[in-house]
Amino acid sequence: MKILIVNGPNINLLGIREKGIYGNTSYEMLCEKLKENAKELSLDIDIIQSNIEGEIINYIQNALRTYDGVIINPGAYTHYSIAIYDAIKAVNIPTIEVHISNIYNREEYRRKSVIAPACIGQISGFGIYGYTMAMIGMKNYLENLDKL
């Protein structure tokens, strides 16, 4: 199974930005941990990050016929990017939305995801472990598609 992990704006600043919310783990450490976990789960992953909405849309569109699933942390685009929502719907690849913090326990404007309705699920509030949870969930989902 081939999975694309897409990280949106400011995720590249993990370990630097708002450590009380996002923790001390750097983006590089996150990527290494995800590669280790993917290997243990027998998943083939690619990880990308962009601060630019159009690039994220291009990554999602280019995932078509290449990836079995997408895991996305859209960052702040979560709350207003209909374009990313449309891209996920257009390619029709199973997608899981991930957030390091619990977006429902934050500022009011962060409590709404316009991306989630395009996804098979959402994981929020488990720190960087949420990505691993998403990989486990995606693997289970893809292995059991015929039983859904």
Catalytic positions, please? 22, 99
Q: Which residues, including other chains, have CB under 8 Å from residue 119's CB and lie 6 or more apart? A: 72, 88, 95, 96, 97
Question: Which of 139, 90, 99, 137 has the alpha carbon at shortest distance from 118?
Answer: 90
CA distances from 106 to 63, 117, 124, 134 (A): 31, 20, 11, 21
Characterise 13 by phi-psi region: left (phi > 0), alpha (psi -120 to 50), beta (else).
alpha
Q: State both tokens at 137.
A: 């969930």
List, in sequence order, every residue forming a beta bridge with 109; answer none if it has no partner: none
Cα(7)–Cα(77) distance, integer angstroms:
10
